[in-house]
């Protein structure tokens, strides 16, 4: 053991002497690795930061888990029950006219709120309506929500840019309107508009506030009101709710829990992963691009190391032969050159991490104002340690690989053919 | 006691055509003998030395050094054996130019790892003093003259107190004064330290003054 340690120390001191003798080349190679890692860290941090930000915007607006009732075609007809084992064809089957409300919804909500995994659960009633003002008539959606709980779930009050959030709760027949919708209807806070429901009833409501979520789909089509207001619009009883929205402490559990609850309460359901599949897929693609670019840069840096070591080994053929003649084994010689590659790799990687962090930090302080992303005032950058660990590992692996081939060449060199001259 | 026993040694070159360069070579060398191997170019004397050096392992027959069989050993084992038991002096000094003279001499001993570093340094300095080059200890090897470099190389060969010192034309690159010094040194090693010296040389004068002379021709030992 002690012998091995002195051996390593000896190889290291030989390595150090060689590197000192070729200081400029060594520095260039180190800078190459450092540059690759810097770019990797910066790009990953920036792109992931952007990904996380857009995800946050979307997920703040969408619950982790939703449960609702949907009009469905019965998959088994009466005929099937009467004549089993026979193919029964029913043409132009019509969906059954069912009530879209969730059964025993208040009891279910109480149960969900008692679950330790649930952060917040809120019932809602949603309906399609037409908004009319003068001659313009636009279709949209009104969400009747429990305003306090909705605020807990989605921070709705923070998105109100005009008027007051609390007023919706107090004032009867009042709504909060999406900024895009308000613009198209040309209404402002305090204006009265007419709403036509699916069933044909007309109601006058007052706009008491305008909100902006940053998601065009929502801002252009949706309004919020109290549950009571919407129930009154539809003429349904107080227990009539069409949707349950749940926020969990750990959102990764959503698909699993959604399945459990659907089976238990006989509701339909969906989770954030299903609702945002294309967004999540986009993230994966962007991450692949980052790793591709950084990989290419590191590959180039790796070629630099490969070149330097190969040149050095050609220059030092005679010395390698001497080392072997005086008792250094093949693996000692390999170790000497491989250590050089690894030292360059480790130094480059550490420098790259530091520079990458500094650049990312600088970029995260750059002001950025966007019309769409209203909650954004600086460029979004993510500082997760896992990128730094990946970057370091990546750097070491590339340099180890590009150092290994020349080192093996040195180790395999036959001292006799060199000494013979 | 025989330090070196060679029996029925055959060696073939396969490039460009198969060619037998050593034909059934066999001899013994005792501890403390100073042996010169001579012969014309192509007689196989250098090839023989490389086989004895254990760096060339592709041969038929038997080579025993210090009672150990060299045939069929691993590269790592042979490297460790060379490190401890064989010292080399080449025609061209082959020092590591980036290292100082002292570091060059110390390298094999640090590889052996028998003594702590300060003790190795002391031994290396003693050797440099013995060879009259201690003033060059801190200089980089690349900056020394040919004669000085060869002395440093000899010091490096001796640092681990090897049982055999092998030389491949060790005086081939030196003027007569330096040659004489090197010869004197080898003689002294053999006589006073009981170290075996085995030298391949073209130098007739050098060979004649050795304890024993092995003359080779056409891959065979003609006399010795």
Q: What is the CA radius of gyration of chain A?
A: 33
- State pLDDT tens for residues A142-193: 988 888 888 877 778 888 888 888 888 888 888 999 988 888 888 888 888 8
Please state, as a whole number, how many other Cβ atoms lie within 10 Å of the Cβ of residue A319. 20
Q: What is the pLDDT of residue A350?
A: 93
Band (pLDDT 50/70/90 cuts) for residue A354 is very high
What residues of chain B lie within 8 A of the CB of A328, using their CB? 79, 83, 111
Quote the tokens at residue B210.
């050795």
Q: What is the pLDDT of residue A28?
A: 85
Query: CB-based contact (8 Å) between B76 and chain A?
Result: yes
Statement: B2-223 belongs to CATH 3.40.50.300: yes
Band (pLDDT 50/70/90 cuts) for residue A74 is low
Quote the tokens at residue A400.
């180890």
Band (pLDDT 50/70/90 cuts) for residue A372 is low
**Average pLDDT, stretch A203-216?**
86
3-state secondary structure of A213: coil
Q: Which of A2, A14, A325 sits opposite B82 (nearest CB)?
A: A325
Q: What is the pLDDT of residue A361?
A: 92
3-state secondary structure of B220: strand
How would you list the strands of the sheet with B60-65, edge to edge?
B19-30, B2-13, B60-65, B68-69
- Among chain A residues, the shortest Cα distance to B53 is held by A325
Beta strands A268-271; A174-178: pairing state: unpaired
Q: What is the pLDDT of residue A360?
A: 92
Q: What is the pLDDT of residue A355?
A: 94
Of A380, A412, A399, A389, nearest in space to A26 by CA? A399
Domain segments of chain B as ranges: 2-223
Q: Assess contact for B11 and B47: CB atoms under 8 A.
A: yes
Q: Which of B90, B95, B108 sits opposite A327 (nearest CB)?
A: B108
Q: What is the pLDDT of residue B28?
A: 86
Q: What is the pLDDT of residue A302?
A: 77
pLDDT at A200 over 90: no
Q: Residue A27: CB partners within 8 Å, gap ≥ 6? A: none
Contact between chains at A419 and B98 (C-beta distance less than 8 A)? no
Between vectors from CA A413 to CA A408 and to CA A418, what angle results, nearest 5°?
155
Burial label for A159, CB within 10 Å (0-12, 13-18, 19+), is buried
Query: CB-based contact (8 Å) between A319 and chain B?
Result: yes
- State residue B91 phi and psi, 5-degree precision: -60, -50
Q: Which of A18, A330, A332 sits opposite B98 (nearest CB)?
A: A18
Of B64, B55, B51, nearest in space to B21 by CA? B51
Largest CA distance in chain B: 52
pLDDT at A99 over 80: no
- State pLDDT tens for residues A315-348: 888 888 888 888 888 888 888 888 888 888 899 8
What residues of chain A lie within 8 A of the CB of B101, using their CB? none
Contact between chains at B112 and A326 (C-beta distance less than 8 A)? no
- Among chain A residues, the shortest Cα distance to B93 is held by A322
**Average pLDDT, stretch B207-223?**
84
d(CA A4, CA A301): 32
Domain segments of chain A as ranges: 2-59+279-419, 65-272
- The H or E element containing residue A144 is strand A136-145
Contact between chains at A21 and B98 (C-beta distance less than 8 A)? yes
Q: Tell me if ipTM is over 0.90.
A: no
Query: CB-based contact (8 Å) between B108 and chain A?
Result: yes
d(CA A226, CA A229): 5
pLDDT at A83 over 80: yes
Band (pLDDT 50/70/90 cuts) for residue A371 is low
Q: What is the pTM of this model?
A: 0.69
3-state secondary structure of B10: strand
Q: What is the pLDDT of residue A373?
A: 57
Quote the tokens at residue A345.
């790799």
The residue among B100, B113, B161 with the most chain A CBs within 10 A of its CB, best to mutate, is: B113
C-alpha dihedral, A151 to A152 to A158 to A161, nearest 10°: -10
The percentage of chain A sitting over the pLDDT mark of 90, rounded to a whole number, equals 5
Quote the tokens at residue A56.
């946050």
pLDDT at B143 over 60: yes
Q: What is the pLDDT of residue A356?
A: 92
- Cα separations in angstroms, A133 against A161, A182, A197, A386: 22, 11, 15, 53
Query: CB-based contact (8 Å) between A16 and chain B?
Result: no
Quote the tokens at residue A399.
């340099």
Q: What is the pLDDT of residue A359?
A: 93
Q: Which of residues 143-202 of B touch A (CB under 8 A)?
A: 156, 160, 168
Burial letters A40-67, b for 16+ CB under 10 A, else e: bbbbbbbbbbbbbbbeebbbbbbbbbbb
Q: Which residues pair with A378 in a beta bridge?
A: A367
Query: CB-based contact (8 Å) between B27 and chain A?
Result: no
Q: Which residues pair with A206 in a beta bridge?
A: A174, A192
d(CA A232, CA A236): 7
Contact between chains at A326 and B94 (C-beta distance less than 8 A)? no
């Amino acid at each position: 053991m002690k012998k091995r340690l002195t051996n390593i120390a000896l190889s290291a001191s030989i390595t150090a002497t060689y590197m000192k003798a070729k200081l400029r080349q060594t520095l260039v190679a180190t800078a190459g690795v450092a540059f690759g890692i810097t770019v990797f860290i910066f790009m990953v941090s920036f792109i992931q930061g952007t990904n996380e930000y857009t995800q946050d915007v979307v997920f703040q607006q969408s619950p982790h888990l939703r449960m609702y009732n949907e009009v469905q075609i019965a998959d088994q007809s009466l005929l099937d029950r009467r004549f089993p084992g026979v193919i029964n064809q029913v043409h132009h089957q019509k969906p059954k006219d069912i009530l879209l409300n969730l059964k025993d919804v208040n009891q279910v909500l109480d149960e969900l709120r008692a679950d330790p995994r649930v952060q917040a659960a809120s019932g809602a009633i949603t309906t399609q309506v037409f908004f009319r003002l003068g001659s313009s008539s636009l279709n949209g959606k009104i969400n009747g929500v429990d305003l306090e709980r909705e605020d807990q779930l989605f921070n709705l009050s923070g998105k109100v840019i005009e008027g007051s959030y609390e007023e919706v709760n107090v004032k009867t027949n009042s709504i909060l309107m999406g900024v895009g919708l308000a613009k198209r209807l040309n209404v402002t806070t305090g204006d009265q508009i007419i709403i036509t429901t699916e069933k044909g009833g007309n109601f006058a409501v007052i706009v008491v506030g305008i909100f902006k979520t940053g998601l065009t789909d929502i801002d252009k089509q949706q309004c919020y009101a109290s549950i009571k207001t919407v129930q009154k619009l539809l003429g349904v009883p107080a227990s009539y709710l069409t949707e349950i929205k749940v926020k969990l402490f750990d959102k990764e559990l959503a698909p699993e829990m959604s399945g459990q609850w659907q089976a238990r309460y006989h509701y339909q359901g969906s989770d954030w992963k299903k609702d945002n599949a294309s967004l999540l897929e986009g993230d994966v693609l962007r991450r692949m691009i980052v790793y591709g670019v950084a990989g290419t840069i590191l590959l180039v840096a790796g070629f630099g190391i490969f070149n330097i070591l190969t040149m050095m080994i050609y220059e030092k053929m005679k010395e390698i032969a001497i080392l072997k003649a005086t008792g250094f084994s093949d693996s000692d010689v390999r170790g000497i050159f491989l250590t050089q590659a690894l030292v360059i790799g480790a130094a480059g990687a550490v420098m790259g991490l530091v520079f990458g962090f500094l650049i990312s930090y600088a970029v995260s302080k750059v002001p950025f104002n966007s019309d769409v992303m209203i909650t954004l005032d600086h460029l979004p950058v993510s500082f997760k340690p896992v990128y730094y660990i990946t970057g370091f590992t990546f750097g070491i692996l590339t340099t180890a690989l590009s150092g290994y081939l020349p080192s093996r060449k040195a180790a395999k060199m036959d001292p006799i053919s060199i000494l013979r001259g | 006691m025989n330090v070196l026993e060679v029996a029925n040694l055959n060696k073939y070159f396969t490039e460009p055509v198969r060619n037998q360069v050593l034909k059934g070579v066999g001899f013994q060398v005792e501890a403390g003998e100073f042996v010169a191997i001579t012969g014309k170019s192509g007689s196989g004397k250098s090839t023989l030395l490389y086989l004895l050096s254990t760096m060339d392992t592709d041969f038929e027959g038997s080579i025993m050094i210090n009672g150990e069989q060299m045939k069929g050993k691993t590269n790592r084992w042979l490297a460790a054996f060379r490190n401890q038991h064989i010292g080399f002096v080449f025609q061209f000094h082959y020092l590591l130019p980036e290292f100082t003279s002292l570091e060059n001499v110390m390298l094999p001993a640090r590889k052996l790892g028998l003594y702590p570093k300060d003790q190795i340094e002391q031994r290396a300095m003693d050797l440099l003093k013995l060879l009259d080059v201690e003033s060059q200890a801190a200089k980089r090897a690349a900056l020394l003259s040919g004669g000085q470099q060869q002395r440093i190389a000899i010091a490096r060969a001796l640092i681990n107190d090897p049982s055999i010192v092998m030389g491949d034309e060790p005086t081939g690159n030196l003027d007569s004064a330096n040659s004489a010094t090197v010869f004197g040194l080898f003689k002294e090693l053999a006589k006073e330290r009981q170290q075996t010296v085995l030298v391949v040389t073209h130098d007739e004068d050098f060979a004649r003054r050795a304890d024993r002379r092995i003359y080779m021709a056409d891959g065979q030992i003609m006399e010795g």
